């Protein structure tokens, strides 16, 4: 197998543990991710972005526990298997397009149908955790554009291709010469509710670049659909929207238009951050919560062996995080006072979870890279139901994490 998928932590101890855990898996990284998924249907006019939490009004309200949001129920159903390192998936019309990191081959799928290739993104170079990473989609009039963030021989770039008659057209370069390297390539792209394109760029194993506002490494970028700098960006004349990040791979907006992002930590803490324009999220000065007023602390943080966050989605009141290292799906809801509550799902059952999004059937879809010996990556679909009042005991098929327990808030 020419390409293997693994997450990159900075410490030698982690690498030893990782190699032990994953056997012969090679030395590539798997941090990049795209999160346009949950928004694309909105942009394409398929489904509403805002979903009322009224459906959950009957939930019992235990003090301090979530009374909004949705949770996966029943057993996930396999939509497709044998994908080659799937990285990002985005609904486009009645299909879902999926990127494959090592090859650049984009496949289209729908429930009950055989997946098919719609084109290979040219110039993709897969080294380390780089390769064909994030996808996003934008409908402009009768035209549908598919955006792609991918690695080249000289860094990363964002391109777009017209998608018509089920085939990707010629490549237009939107943003060239993004920082890149063998590790920490970031790679998620997503259109925000403001119609702007957001991108996560890793610090490319050059931690000091995260605090350098003249570098695009270790940042969340905000650009117009053609790659220009919006006049209202927080730093005049710059694509930089937020900084002090290590290897962010997840972007999602809630119904208030608030942007959330994950950050893949070093050896200690992985993060869920509430993103403010121009905000500094601390890396490499602070990993996780530092309590330093110069930096914005994460809303939640996880021990890295439980998380390794890649894709992020917001669906009907719940944030879902794809956990690579932890080989699980995480859900985060907020209680009436805004305190986050996290629960783990499918721990170890489907291997490394790379991406998560609201699928074309209104169910929650998630993308896995499989486990060692598995035939390949797969996409699974699971029904969502109003979140029950959380109780601090394990339930069938999922583990719950209660306040002040394993998860630091
Ligand atoms: Ca941070």
φ, ψ dihedrals at 350, nearest 5°: -125, 10
Q: Tens of pLDDT along 127-176? A: 999 999 999 999 999 999 999 999 999 999 999 999 999 999 999 999 99
Query: Is the CB of residue 92 less than 8 Å from the CB of residue 359?
Result: no
Span 272-293, mean pLDDT? Answer: 97
CA of 286 to the centre of ligand 1 (A): 6
CA of 270 to the centre of ligand 1 (A): 8
Query: Is the CB of residue 146 less than 8 Å from the CB of residue 135?
Result: yes
CA distances from 35 to 25, 142, 148, 369 (A): 26, 23, 11, 17
CA of 247 to the centre of ligand 1 (A): 10
φ, ψ dihedrals at 195, nearest 5°: 80, 0
Cα–chain center distance at 346:
18
Cα separation, 63 vs 77, in Å, equals 34
Q: Does 407 reside within a domain?
A: no
Provide the CB-side half-sphere exposure for 39 (13 A, CA). Answer: 27
CA of 281 to the centre of ligand 1 (A): 4
φ, ψ dihedrals at 78, nearest 5°: -75, 125
CA of 271 to the centre of ligand 1 (A): 7
- What number of other Cβ atoms are within 10 A of residue 15's Cβ? 15
Q: Does 202 reside within a domain?
A: yes
Q: Domain count of the chain? A: 1
Query: Is the CB of residue 272 less than 8 Å from the CB of residue 298?
Result: yes
Q: Does 210 reside within a domain?
A: yes
Q: Does 114 reside within a domain?
A: yes
Residue with tokens 């609904």: 91
pLDDT level of residue 9 (50, 70, 90 thresholds) = confident
- What number of other Cβ atoms are within 10 A of residue 127's Cβ? 17
CA of 144 to the centre of ligand 1 (A): 35
CA of 62 to the centre of ligand 1 (A): 31
pLDDT higher than 80, residue 18: no
CA of 290 to the centre of ligand 1 (A): 8
Question: Strand 259-263 and strand 250-253: pairing?
Answer: antiparallel
List Cβ neighbours of 296 (8 Å cut-off, separation of 6 or more): 244, 273, 274, 276, 279, 280, 281, 282
Query: Is the CB of residue 116 less than 8 Å from the CB of residue 107?
Result: yes
Cα separation, 91 vs 41, in Å, equals 6
pLDDT higher than 60, residue 197: yes
pLDDT level of residue 6 (50, 70, 90 thresholds) = low
Q: How many residues does the structure list for the chain?
A: 409
pLDDT level of residue 408 (50, 70, 90 thresholds) = very low
pLDDT of residue 373: 60
- The CATH number of the domain where 282 resides is what? 2.120.10.30
Q: What share of the chain is helix, strand, coil (3-state, %, to 5)?
A: 5, 40, 50
What are the residues whose beta carbon lies below 5 Å from ligand 1 (ion)? 281-282
pLDDT level of residue 230 (50, 70, 90 thresholds) = very high
Span 214-242, mean pLDDT? Answer: 98
Average of per-residue pLDDT values in the chain: 82
Which run of H or of E encompasses 149? strand 143-152
- Lowest mean per-residue pLDDT among 26-40, 83-97, 183-197, 235-249: 26-40
Query: Is the CB of residue 383 less than 8 Å from the CB of residue 371?
Result: no
Which run of H or of E encompasses 162? strand 155-164
300 closest CA partner among 190, 193, 184, 405: 405
Structure-block tokens of residue 173: 């370069």
Q: Does 57 reside within a domain?
A: yes
Range of the domain at 269: 12-400
Q: Does 350 reside within a domain?
A: yes
Span 299-327, mean pLDDT? Answer: 96
* Percent of the residues in the chain that have a pLDDT greater than 90, as a whole number: 71
CA of 298 to the centre of ligand 1 (A): 6
CA of 220 to the centre of ligand 1 (A): 13
CA of 224 to the centre of ligand 1 (A): 26
CA of 378 to the centre of ligand 1 (A): 31
pLDDT of residue 232: 98
Q: Identify which has the larger pLDDT, 261 or 56.
A: 261
CA of 248 to the centre of ligand 1 (A): 10
200 closest CA partner among 296, 281, 285: 281
CA of 405 to the centre of ligand 1 (A): 21
CA of 297 to the centre of ligand 1 (A): 6
Cα separation, 193 vs 149, in Å, equals 20
Span 74-82, mean pLDDT? Answer: 92
Q: Does 408 reside within a domain?
A: no
Query: Is the CB of residue 124 less than 8 Å from the CB of residue 180?
Result: no
Cα separation, 236 vs 171, in Å, equals 29
CA of 394 to the centre of ligand 1 (A): 30
- What number of other Cβ atoms are within 10 A of residue 116's Cβ? 11
CA of 184 to the centre of ligand 1 (A): 15
Q: Does 124 reside within a domain?
A: yes
pLDDT of residue 334: 83
Q: Tens of pLDDT along 320-371? A: 999 999 999 999 998 777 788 899 999 999 999 999 999 999 999 999 986 6
């Amino acid at each position: 197998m020419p390409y293997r998928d693994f997450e990159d932590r900075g410490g030698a101890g982690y690498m030893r543990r990782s190699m032990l855990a994953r056997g012969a898996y090679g030395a590539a990284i798997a941090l990049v991710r795209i999160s346009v998924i949950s928004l694309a249907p909105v942009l394409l006019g398929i489904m509403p972005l805002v979903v009322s939490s009224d459906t959950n009004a009957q939930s019992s309200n235990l003090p301090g526990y979530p009374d909004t949001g949705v949770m996966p129920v029943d057993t996930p159903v396999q939509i497709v298997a044998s994908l080659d390192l799937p990285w990002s998936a985005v609904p486009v019309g009645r299909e879902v397009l999926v990127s494959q990191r090592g090859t650049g081959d984009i496949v289209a799928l729908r429930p009950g149908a055989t997946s098919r290739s719609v084109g290979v993104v040219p110039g993709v170079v897969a080294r380390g955790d780089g390769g064909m990473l994030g996808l996003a989609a934008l409908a402009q009039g009768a035209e549908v554009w598919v955006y792609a963030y991918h690695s080249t021989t000289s860094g990363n770039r964002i391109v777009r291709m017209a998608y018509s008659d089920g085939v990707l057209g010629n490549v237009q370069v939107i943003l060239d010469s993004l920082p890149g390297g063998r590790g920490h390539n970031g790679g998620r792209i997503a259109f925000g509710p403001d119609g702007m394109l957001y991108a996560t760029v890793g610090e490319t194993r050059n931690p000091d670049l995260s605090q350098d506002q003249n570098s695009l490494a270790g940042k969340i970028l905000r650009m117009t659909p053609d790659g220009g700098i919006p006049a209202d960006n927080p730093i005049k004349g710059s694509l930089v929207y937020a900084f002090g990040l290590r290897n962010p791979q997840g972007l999602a907006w809630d119904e208030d238009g608030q942007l959330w992002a994950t950050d893949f930590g070093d050896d200690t803490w992985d993060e869920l951050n509430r993103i403010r324009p121009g905000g500094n999220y601390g890396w490499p000065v602070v990993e996780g919560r530092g309590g330093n007023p110069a930096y914005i602390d994460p809303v939640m943080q996880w021990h890295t062996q439980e998380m390794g966050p890649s894709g992020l989605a917001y669906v009907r009141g719940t944030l879902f995080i794809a956990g690579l290292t932890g080989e699980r799906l995480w859900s985060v809801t907020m209680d009436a006072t805004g305190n986050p509550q996290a629960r783990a799902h499918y721990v170890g059952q489907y291997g490394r979870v790379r991406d998560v999004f609201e699928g074309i059937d209104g169910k929650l879809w998630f993308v896995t890279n499989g486990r060692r010996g598995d035939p390949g990556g797969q996409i699974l679909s699971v029904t969502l139901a109003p979140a029950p009042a959380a109780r601090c005991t394990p339930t069938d098929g999922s583990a719950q994490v209660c306040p002040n327990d394993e998860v630091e808030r």
